[in-house]
């Protein structure tokens, strides 16, 4: 009886609705059209391929400059430990250097919370230019700090201060650059164009590693410790100016401009942008918390594996396997160059087969291959080390080539920059920059050289669950934005496909 009583009101309601629809069919058709209006030709964005390529180049080159600056510190970790934290213990110096590396990640969420909503208000390109300026200042300033032997306690204090400036600026970089490319690219090629962002990341890391390797081979370790380490940091200033110039030359993204200048809902769009820009982070957490959790999980798994291979591995080879610093960096450079050659093809595959299959392949690759890869690396021979790093690199490139298209599609246009910056940088702060520090500490405590593999496997397991929970967004419009296509013919086909079938 209780079950019947519970279901009868619902059934009566459905019957009432059906009766109302029969009595007023025209009214309900109008309501359905209002709730799900058909696309008009003016609603669809037809991309200008030349403009898309300029946008991708500016975002990617700017991103390369940012990660060149950031990578320099990781590859000079041993030298920086000796210059700024002299203690007589190699382990203590290295831990101090990596702790300073990690401290920049503590302020990344703060940078994301400031720059993200700002980018949703005033536009993507202005904020991206600002982050470049701050990163260039922070990096060049590190190259000018006197050593511990010269000014004592103030040397590490100044180092930490400028590392904090680097971390703050980086908080607005990835979310903005990935949003910029995603909003410029046509829906069916977002994966391909998005992969250029991570091509820029690899190029920045490769440039930093190559410069450090070349200087170390040319000057020698003693000269590098004395003054040679400053050169890569000082090179960052002119490179930063190039990135700023490229970014300021562009128009803002079509999706942002359409949101700002919409003829139909201009007041609503303006209110949404203005509200977001006031720093309404509580609204982002309240409304989009599910996507934020998913974003944090995906980015956490991705960053642990990314920083383990691209930032920590040279130190692992030199400190645990007693490779020379330049030898370990040369192997890493060769691995990254190979990844750069194939990353755009991974982006194409994600457009064709979807983001989830490529992301799942990368996560499973790390879970299954991390232990065998580190067993190979520990063999010590050039062939074995190269094979182990290649196994990890091929797993990583599945994530690198896909993530920059998958993450922006998780959030609507009016809060995309802010939400992605907050989620990405919270995760990077907790799991990314701490990776070298945590792995070094785990090896020190346990005495096991396999700890990097186990840490990567744990992160990959989290990533597998996160990928299983995410929606597929390949070849679909970004949420809150109109469809974006490459040609007028494609736009006309979309409109025609929604036209009602004539009845005779």
Tokens of residue 444, six digits: 């020190």
Euclidean distance between the first and the last CA atom of the chain, given in angstroms as a whole number? 50
pLDDT (tens digit per residue) in 390-414:
999 999 999 999 999 999 999 888 8
Nearest to 119 by CA among 263, 314, 253: 253
Quickly list DSSP for 358-422.
Answer: HHHHHHHHHHHHHHHHHHHHTT-SHHHHHHHHHHHHHHHHHHHHHHHHHTGGGS-GGGHHHHHHH
Q: Is the pLDDT higher at 14 or at 209? A: 209
CA distances from 487 to 19, 41, 183, 186, 490 (A): 45, 12, 16, 10, 5
| SS3 (DSSP) at 485 | strand
pLDDT > 90: percent of the chain: 22
Q: Which residues contact 444 (CB under 8 A, 6 or more apart)?
A: 91, 95
Q: What is the pLDDT of residue 4?
A: 41
d(CA 466, CA 470): 6
Q: Is the pLDDT higher at 140 or at 266? A: 140
CB 199 within 8 A of CB 453: no
Q: What is the pLDDT of residue 498?
A: 66
| SS3 (DSSP) at 88 | coil
Tokens of residue 212, six digits: 């450090």
Nearest to 209 by CA among 309, 354, 134, 63: 309
Angle (CA) 89-95-99 rounded to 5° is 145
Q: Which residues contact 178 (CB under 8 A, 6 or more apart)?
A: 194, 197, 404, 405, 407, 408, 420
Nearest to 259 by CA among 250, 251, 270, 249: 270
Q: What phi and psi, each to the nearest 5 degrees, are found at residue 45?
A: -90, 120
d(CA 269, CA 264): 9
Number of H helices, E strands in the chain: 25, 2
- pTM for the full predicted model: 0.78
Tokens of residue 106, six digits: 């503590």
CB 112 within 8 A of CB 425: yes
d(CA 289, CA 286): 6
pLDDT (tens digit per residue) in 116-164:
888 878 877 788 888 888 888 888 898 899 988 888 888 888 988 898 8
Mean pLDDT of 427-438: 81
- Residue 9 above 60 pLDDT? no
Q: What is the pLDDT of residue 301?
A: 92
Confidence of residue 264 (pLDDT cuts 50, 70, 90): very low
d(CA 359, CA 402): 7
- Residue 70 above 90 pLDDT? no
Nearest to 399 by CA among 343, 334, 455, 353: 343
Q: What is the pLDDT of residue 470?
A: 93
Q: Residue 480: is it exposed, middle or buried by C-beta count within 10 angstroms (0-12/13-18/19+)?
A: middle
Strands 45-46 and 484-485, bridge-based pairing: parallel
């Amino acid at each position: 009886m209780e079950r019947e009583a519970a279901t009868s009101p619902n059934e009566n309601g459905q019957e009432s609705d059906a009766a109302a629809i029969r009595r007023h069919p025209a009214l309900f058709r109008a309501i359905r059209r209002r709730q799900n209006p058909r696309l008009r030709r003016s609603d669809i964005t037809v991309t200008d391929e030349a403009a898309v390529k300029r946008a991708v180049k500016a975002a990617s080159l700017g991103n390369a400059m940012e990660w060149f600056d950031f990578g320099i510190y990781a590859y000079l970790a041993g030298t920086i430990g000796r210059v700024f934290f002299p203690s007589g213990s190699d382990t203590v110096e290295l831990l101090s250097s990596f702790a300073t590396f990690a401290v920049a990640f503590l302020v990344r969420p703060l940078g994301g919370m400031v720059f993200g909503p700002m980018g949703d208000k005033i536009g993507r390109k202005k904020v991206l230019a600002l982050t470049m300026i701050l990163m260039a200042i922070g990096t060049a300033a590190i190259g000018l700090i006197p050593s511990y032997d010269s000014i004592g306690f103030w040397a590490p204090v100044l180092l930490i201060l400028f590392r904090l400036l680097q971390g703050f600026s980086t908080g607005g970089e990835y979310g903005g650059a990935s949003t910029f490319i995603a909003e410029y690219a046509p829906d069916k090629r977002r994966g391909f164009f998005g992969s250029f962002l991570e091509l820029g990341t690899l190029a920045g890391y490769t440039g930093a590693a190559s410069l450090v390797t070349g200087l170390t081979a040319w000057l020698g370790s003693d000269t590098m410790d004395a003054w040679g380490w400053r050169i890569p940091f000082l090179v960052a200033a002119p490179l930063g100016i190039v990135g700023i110039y490229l970014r300021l030359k562009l128009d803002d993204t079509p999706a942002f401009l359409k949101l700002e200048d919409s003829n139909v809902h201009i007041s609503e769009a303006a209110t949404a942008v203005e509200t977001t820009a006031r720093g309404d982070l509580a609204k982002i957490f309240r409304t989009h918390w599910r996507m934020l959790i998913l974003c944090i999980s995906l980015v956490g798994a991705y960053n642990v594996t990314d920083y383990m291979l691209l930032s920590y591995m040279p130190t692992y080879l030199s400190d645990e396997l007693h490779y020379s610093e330049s030898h370990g960096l040369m192997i890493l450079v060769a691995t990254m160059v190979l990844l750069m050659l194939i990353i755009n093809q991974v982006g194409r595959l994600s457009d064709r087969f979807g983001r989830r299959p490529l992301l799942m392949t990368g996560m499973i690759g790390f879970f299954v291959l991390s232990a065998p890869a580190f067993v190979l690396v520990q063999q010590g021979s050039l062939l074995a080390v190269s094979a182990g790093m290649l196994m990890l690199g091929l797993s990583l490139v599945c994530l690198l080539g896909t993530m920059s298209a998958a993450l922006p599609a998780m959030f609507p246009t009016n809060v995309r920059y802010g939400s992605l910056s907050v989620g990405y940088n919270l995760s990077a702060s907790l799991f990314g920059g701490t990776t070298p520090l945590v792995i070094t500490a785990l090896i020190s405590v346990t005495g096991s050289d396999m700890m990097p593999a186990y840490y990567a496997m744990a992160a990959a397991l989290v990533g597998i669950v996160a990928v299983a929970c995410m929606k597929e967004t390949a070849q679909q419009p970004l949420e809150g934005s109109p469809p974006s296509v490459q040609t007028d013919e494609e736009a006309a086909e979309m409109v025609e496909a929604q036209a009602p079938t004539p009845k005779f």
